[in-house]
Amino acid sequence: MLQKLPFSSLLSLLFFGLLLLCGSEALSEDVPAGVRTYLVKRGHRRSLVVTEHGEISAAEISTGTKGPYHIQFFTLEPNSLLLPVLLHADMVFYVHTGNGKLSWTDGTEMKRMNLQRGDVYRLQAGSVFFVQSNQDSERQRMRIHAIFSNTDEDVYEPSIGAYSSIRDMVLGFDRKVLQAAFKVPEEVLEEITSATKPPAVVPAVTKDRKSVYWELEDRLVGILMGNKHKKTKETKTFNILDADPDFENCNGWSLTVDKHRLRSLRHSNIGIFMVNLTKGSMMGPHWNPMATEIAVVLHGHGMVRVVCPSTANESECKNVRFKVKEGDVFAVSRFHPMAQMSFNNDSFVFMGFSTSPKRNHPQFLTGKRSILRTLDRGILAVSFNVTNTTMDQLLNAQEKALILDCTSCAEEEETKMKEEIEKERQEEEARKSKEEEEKEREEEEARKKEEEKEREEEEAQKREEEEEQAKKREEEEREREAAAAKKREEEEREREREEEEAKKREEEKEREEEEAKKREEEKEREREEEETRKREEEKRQKEEERRREQEEAERERRRQEEEEKQRQEEEEQEEARRREEEKRQQEEQRQREEAARREHEEARRQEEEKAKERERREGGGEQPEEEEVEARKEDQERKGDEGIGRRTLRKVWNL
């Protein structure tokens, strides 16, 4: 059975295929850029299965408006088996070479049919089928070209693939479910589930020995189809190569197979066509009003010219010409006028699928059946801006239809194509070189910029470093300054401290001085006080002395006074005694003086009486004699006192 590829790998394959389709590198030099979506060269198919018994490859092809259409190429070695698969889409196929047997069922009965070269058939979506190639005497491979299409939308759905393996579908369930569902003995399921999964294409049964796979698949299909395969029904198919062509002349033939010819194509949207162009011929310019053609080259080489009917967007739709050879697939959209040409050296055979459920009548531009001949000649002449005559000449000349003689047409087309490709290549190269130049310039610029940047960065780095250094220096400076400041500060502090200390010392000194002064003062004061005290003492002493002296003096004085008094008293007593004495002496004296005086008085009165008698005799008085007498008297008295005192004192004091 055909091994179902995991969805992701299918997708990646698809993607890879598209990459191959679109990638300019992957396409050979004889493919113009404009056809890359609707031409798949044989070498650019993507491989789905490769075993020693067979291969399956696929191609997706787009017409630009629809698709992609999915085409697969099955190749079976003689006596090989393509294992059963469930079809997800309608499959219309053409047997290109070899022969074998197709077995399929739609669920009701098992059908079987022999296949040979040129056979075409359609299997409906939902069918389960398998193919076995015959043990051919020529050992020819069996080649089948198939297109897959969903009936409703005319589009193959890539996300689910074209078909899936029956085995995978069954064994996707757990054994428990399978046993309950199938109600088969344990060992059967055991055998089925534990069997190694076979590849999609395996060796077929031989006459004497059934293939293990064949047996297995037979059993599986039996399980699936409820053992109805015993009612196998032989079905006849349609063979293109056996059929009469629709058109044939010496330049070749063409044939279309639609539902009218092949009943199995009913309710399908796929038709089949085949063209054989002999050497130096051409399928005349024509368009398909209903269908898109997807053609596979079966033999030889050919040139295809496709005209874009729309002038709306030249970059999307261009007139193209391209060369195809056996195995290549190309698609042409409806309304696109085209012409296929064979080379002078070989015939050019291609078959294809037309994607329309409706009857497609290709419209030819030339020959007896030309659509232009049915149009009004004058209108046409105006359309072409030529005279009626010219128009007549244009349309009436060709008497042949459809397939025309065209010697060296393909060769000329090929030359033109090569020129175009060369031009394209040159343009491409120019573009590329320009791009490269641009790129180089950009790179140069980028490099320059990079260099610039690098330089700038370097500079920036330098600057940064410098800044860093400057910063470092600054930092150092700052640190130094800070250190200096700190030092200064410390010094300042030191100085301050010193000053403080000095001040303190000063203060101390001052204080000391003060104290000294104070002490001095104190001392001074004390001294002064002492002195004062001393002086006072002295004074006091002096005073005392003085007082003592005074007292002494007083005492002395008093003693003296006492003495004096005593003395005085004594003296007084003495005096008194003396005076007494004196008085007695004086009394005596006075009595003697009285007596002397009376004597003297008598003497003087005698003298006076004498002087008075003389005066009376002389005239005047004389007194001085009297005074002189008196003074002598007194002096005599004083001399008498002193003399008396000293004698008296000595007498008193006993001195």
Least gap, CB of 421 to ligand NAG (angstroms): 14
Least gap, CB of 170 to ligand NAG (angstroms): 41
Least gap, CB of 404 to ligand NAG (angstroms): 15
Nearer to ligand NAG, 385 or 623 (CB): 385
315 three-class SS: coil
Q: Which amino acid is at 271?
A: G
Nearer to ligand NAG, 279 or 555 (CB): 279
Nearer to ligand NAG, 301 or 578 (CB): 301
Nearer to ligand NAG, 378 or 643 (CB): 378
Closest Cα partner for 277 from 393, 169, 184, 404? 404
Least gap, CB of 296 to ligand NAG (angstroms): 12
Site residues (CB under 6 A) for ligand NAG? 276, 278, 299, 301, 313, 315-316, 343, 345-347, 349, 377-378, 381, 385, 387-388, 414
Q: What are phi and psi of 521, to 5 degrees?
A: -60, -45
- Look up tokens 């209903």; give the residue: 290
With the C-alpha atoms ordered 206, 210, 211, 213, is the resulting torsion angle positive or negative? positive
**For 73, how many CA atoms within 13 A lie in the half-sphere containing its CB?**
25
Least gap, CB of 332 to ligand NAG (angstroms): 20
Measured between alpha carbons, how far is 608 from 614 in angstroms, rounded to an integer?
9
Least gap, CB of 325 to ligand NAG (angstroms): 7
Tallying the residues shown for the chain, one arrives at: 655
Least gap, CB of 84 to ligand NAG (angstroms): 31
Least gap, CB of 90 to ligand NAG (angstroms): 25
- Tell me the residue ranges of DSSP E strands in 197-265: 201-203, 233-234, 238-239, 247-249, 252-257
Instruction: Supply 110's token pair.
Output: 């098992």
Nearer to ligand NAG, 316 or 477 (CB): 316
> In sequence order, which residues have a C-beta less than 8 Å from that of residue 181 and are 6 or more positions away?
173
Least gap, CB of 278 to ligand NAG (angstroms): 5
Instruction: Supply 592's token pair.
Output: 């003697």
Percentages helix, strand, coil for the chain, rounded to the nearest 5?
Answer: 50, 20, 30
Least gap, CB of 242 to ligand NAG (angstroms): 11
331 three-class SS: strand
Q: Which residue is nearest to ligand NAG (CB)?
A: 378
Least gap, CB of 114 to ligand NAG (angstroms): 20
Nearer to ligand NAG, 237 or 276 (CB): 276
Nearer to ligand NAG, 299 or 534 (CB): 299
DSSP-assigned states of every residue in 381-433: HHHHT--HHHHHHHHHS----SEEE-TTHHHHHHHHHHHHHHHHHHHHHHHHH
Instruction: Supply 118's token pair.
Output: 């040129």
Nearer to ligand NAG, 386 or 596 (CB): 386
Least gap, CB of 144 to ligand NAG (angstroms): 16
> In sequence order, which residues have a C-beta less than 8 Å from that of residue 310 and are 6 or more positions away?
317
Cβ atoms within 10 Å, residue 543: 14
Measured between alpha carbons, how far is 132 from 115 in angstroms, rounded to an integer?
10
Nearer to ligand NAG, 94 or 156 (CB): 94
Q: Which amino acid is at 490?
A: E
Measured between alpha carbons, how far is 574 from 24 in angstroms, rounded to an integer?
192
Least gap, CB of 181 to ligand NAG (angstroms): 49
Closest Cα partner for 407 from 251, 242, 613? 251
User: Which alpha helices (H) appear in 165-256, and where do they start and end?
Assistant: 166-171, 175-182, 186-194, 212-224
Measured between alpha carbons, how far is 112 from 237 in angstroms, rounded to an integer?
11
Residue 131 C-alpha from the chain's centroid: 60
- Look up tokens 């009548």; give the residue: 361
Nearer to ligand NAG, 324 or 332 (CB): 324
> In sequence order, which residues have a C-beta less than 8 Å from that of residue 409 and are 6 or more positions away?
280, 282, 303, 341
Nearer to ligand NAG, 241 or 595 (CB): 241
Measured between alpha carbons, how far is 222 from 128 in angstroms, rounded to an integer?
12
Nearer to ligand NAG, 310 or 461 (CB): 310
224 three-class SS: helix
Nearer to ligand NAG, 381 or 395 (CB): 381
Nearer to ligand NAG, 194 or 313 (CB): 313
Cβ atoms within 10 Å, residue 365: 17
Least gap, CB of 305 to ligand NAG (angstroms): 15
